[in-house]
Chains A and B, each alone.
Chain A
Amino acid sequence: MNSLKTMPHPKANTPQRLRHGSHLPVGAPRRRNRRRLQLTRWIGLGVFGFWILVALFGPLLAPHPMGAFVSDQMFGGISAAYPLGTDYMGRDMLSRILTGARYTVGLALVAACLSSLIGAGFGMLSVLLPKWLEESVRRVFDTLISIPSKMMALVMVSAFGASIPLLITATVLSYAPGAFRIAHSLATNLATMEYVQVAHTRGEGRLYIAAREIFPNMIQSVLTDMGMRFVFIVLLLSGMSFLGLGVQPPAADLGSLVRENIGGLSQGAIAVIAPALAIGTLTIGANLLIDSLSTSRATQKE
């Protein structure tokens, strides 16, 4: 008995190894991958959701009014009374961020939605228009796309002065053409699909074909694109504010908060770090969310 156990038959090894399966050259199961995907989605959703809530309710939660001078100390550090310190004029940083986030998130959201709506709408419809009209629409958007976005915003602000409607117009003008190009190329591919031709031979109108046959098949990509545009717009608006051409005092968005407190950078003041971090988390959160949404769509398709 014993000798049998200590000296296994040499050939007995192979089937055992096979049963373990560890040596089989096979693809790893999907499971682990999926769990990580879920995780990034929850993180993205959590961070982005947090900022949406701040934008909605932040001003109500702020302990002090935005413009109130509450402390004698400039660039005060973290304390119980002022959890995020005080700014260069001794105002409560937490209140200012809670209030300022509304401008950044709100402006960027409105601008992103408008860009996608205009871009995708034209992109989709232009496919169904007569050739010459489609070409002219495309050329108009191509012209817009050739102007650098920051340049266009700067020129518009210096010409007409900074105001919120103008900021939105400037960002939409710079970001709608990109949305148009993406939507247009998606729609061009979809318009040659046989189900669209079936709709044509049924005598359906252009609007029905665009809205019911083409649009449902591109909505996912358009949404992903809109999410990306939101991130770009946050950065553009913050950049504008940093240059002093965005939201004007006494109101302030996250970008202008960084700018006003830039003097505290040498002291490592929390007043300049906090709004910068806020911009960072907002864009990263949005990015994670978009990523997980678009990947989950890709796996669904398989």
Chain B
Amino acid sequence: MQGESLIVRDLEIVATPDGGEERSIVSRIGFSLEPGEVLALIGESGSGKTTIALAMLGYARRGCRIAGGSVRLGETEVLSLSPVATRALRGHRVAYIAQSAAAAFNPSRSLMDQVIEAALLHKVMDRRTARDKAIGLFRDLALPDPEHIGERYPHQVSGGQLQRVMAAMALLTDPALVILDEPTTALDVTTQVEVLLAFKRVMRERGTTAIYVSHDLTVVAQMADQVLVLNGGCEQEQGRIEEILERPRHAYTRSLLAATRPPRLADSMPAAAGQPLLEVERLDVGYGKPNRDGEPSAMVLRGIDLTLHAGRSIGVIGESGSGKSTLARAVAGLIAPCHGSVQFDGTPLSPTLRGRTPDQFRRIQMAFQSADNALNPAHSVRRLLGRPLETYFHLDRAERRRRIDELMALVKLPTGLLDRKPGELSGGQKQRVNLARCLAAKPDLILCDEVTSALDTVVGAAILELLAELRQELGVAYLFISHDISTVRALCDDVMVLYHGECVEFGSCEAVLEAPRHDYTRKLIGSVPELRPGWLENRTLALAEAPA
């Protein structure tokens, strides 16, 4: 209906780091889109995806400059517009949907006010028409209670709903081009499918031309007509989505494809008999003040049973808010359970940190999700790795140095990084340091809390491989928390499915994932996008046909 063609030629973007020389971050990018087509920009973080997408708005981030090239949208040459004309373009003819809807909305204004703001600013329609149109879009995007959802505030709707409201905001002015910047990366798989479906239907109906930025090939396969694979600001490969998936020519594209579905990395260990390493019995955990019965006001986990033998790994999956992390924190002693017991190697663990022995501290290590927050930005890598050696083993300086070198070799990092601070490391390197710090304690159990979810697919796959190797070499056991079924499948022997704080299914990895018994497990598995175009539509058809 209103999509326009987009032709980009020789786009060059340079950045000037503080005190440094100008350097190119995007070079010689070109593509062309017919009206109504969707182009996916795919690549790992830092590959220039978002920078290119923002250039379609004639915008470059602070410290960056569009050095040359042309962006032609319909009849308009975007890059040569005056600042006033560029402002008229943004939010009207070109709209942008950001990754984190929660951060993009102003929490103190109602959703409707923000959705129609751009339309009112550009004076394309009056308030009443804008409201009616927004309600129509809410309905099309399958938002609940479309008539009144606009009166709510951002914190009163869920993350997936907020992302759809943002789509409504972008589509309200009937833009010629929509830029979607990783719109579903922050969502759970089950929510992601709903949001993708809503996006796809609305965009198809309106014939919107779109650029879809993502690092997830399976999502791209559902959404895009064309794909542009980026690495380090340069084009690696470009073509129709089917071609890229079936006949990837470039090595980088192949590694992306391979990383999407990591193969089974660990041989299943024989179910060890004897003393279990970790035994959790009828564990109840909650937050908040205890009420009259001694139960906290908000219960997160109820009646969790778990047995983990040395050298084995259990995957815990579930959506956000299902209590996955709380389970790990309860085992680590960061939150005291209100009922139930945790036994470690035959001795009961104290519910809080206070009652635990130094040896228990050493043997249970926790690897947090985001290495950014888990590594103290003020400490060098040497210090980060040295401190556990100091506290647990009281090693002297020479011994420490030797052991640190060993650890760095174990996680495959060059020793040249030892004097850097975490801020000077890449995401993957940080996660390796994070693991090395856990390994420094020579632990028997590592609680891995979403260790790969903040990483790009390729980097995440490498970390998974490392985890599998370490398990083989050192015989550590993992409690592996993830929302990504493919990582659990690749690494774990057993799997536990959590749903609203209760364990709905527990069993060996193959049994649960191949033949799920519980409805929620089926939904969870069915929501993982497959690497083929059309999966999204077929899935919906299959769901519609299935008896309710």
Contacts and interface: CB of A to CB of B under 8 A. Distances in A.
Interface residues of B, number: 47
Given A34-B19, A204-B391, A216-B376, A198 B366 contact: yes
Contact of B332 (A25, A30, A201, A204): A201
B391 A25 contact: no
A194 B391 contact: no
Interface in B81-123: 81-83, 86
Given A25-B58, A29-B16, A200-B353, A18 B79 contact: yes
B376 A195 contact: yes
A266 interface: no
18 contacts: A14-B77, A21-B67, A23-B80, A24-B58, A24-B65, A24-B79, A25-B58, A27-B62, A27-B65, A30-B63, A195-B374, A195-B376, A198-B366, A198-B374, A198-B437, A201-B334, A201-B364, A217-B377
A213 B79 contact: no
Contacts of B373: 193-195
Nearest 3 pairs of A and B residues by beta carbon: A216-B378, A203-B361, A194-B373
Contacts of B83: 25
A197 interface: yes
Interface size bracket, A side: 20 to 34
Contacts of B437: 198
A194 B62 CA distance: 30
Nearest to B371: A194
B539 interface: no
B64 interface: yes
A7 interface: no
A21 B67 CA distance: 7
Nearest to B365: A201
Interface string A23-63: 11111011100100000000000000000000000000000
A44 to B, nearest CB: 20
Contacts of A201: 332-334, 353, 361, 364-366
A3 interface: no
Contacts of A299: 18
A17 interface: yes
Contacts of B379: 212, 216
Most chain-B CB neighbours within 10 Å: which of A17, A25, A200? Answer: A25
A197 B356 contact: no
A19 interface: yes
Contacts of B361: 201-203
B518 interface: no
A203 B334 contact: no
A30 B62 contact: yes
A67 B58 CA distance: 70
B86 A197 contact: no
A26 B366 CA distance: 45
A194 B430 CA distance: 14
B67 A23 contact: no
Nearest to A15: B70
A105 B157 CA distance: 56
Given A26-B64, A203-B391, A31 B376 contact: no
A17 B361 CA distance: 66
Nearest to B90: A25
Interface in B1-57: 16, 18-19
A194 B66 CA distance: 38
Contacts, number: 95
B358 interface: yes
B203 to A, nearest CB: 27
Contacts of B64: 26-27
A30 B66 contact: no
B18 A203 contact: no
Contacts of A24: 58, 65-66, 79-80
Contacts of B388: 202
A287 to B, nearest CB: 24
B68 A18 contact: yes
B59 interface: yes
A288 B182 CA distance: 42
Interface in B319-361: 332-334, 353, 356, 358, 361
A217 B65 contact: no
B240 interface: no
A75 to B, nearest CB: 51
Nearest to A197: B334
A240 B427 CA distance: 55
Contacts of A216: 376, 378-379
B145 to A, nearest CB: 35
A13 B316 CA distance: 62
B413 interface: no
Given A34-B18, A195-B373, A201-B334, A25 B368 contact: no
Contacts of A204: 391
A203 B356 contact: yes
Given A194-B370, A195-B375, A217-B377, A27 B61 contact: yes
Contacts of A27: 60-65
Contacts of B58: 24-25
Given A195-B374, A201-B364, A213-B376, 17 more contacts: A14-B77, A17-B80, A25-B79, A25-B83, A26-B66, A194-B374, A195-B375, A197-B366, A198-B366, A200-B334, A201-B333, A201-B366, A203-B353, A203-B391, A216-B376, A216-B378, A302-B62
Nearest to A28: B65
A19 B68 contact: yes
A212 B380 CA distance: 12
A221 to B, nearest CB: 13
Interface in A195-219: 195, 197-198, 200-204, 212-213, 216-217
Nearest to A205: B391
A216 B383 CA distance: 13
Contact of B86 (A14, A18, A25, A30): A25
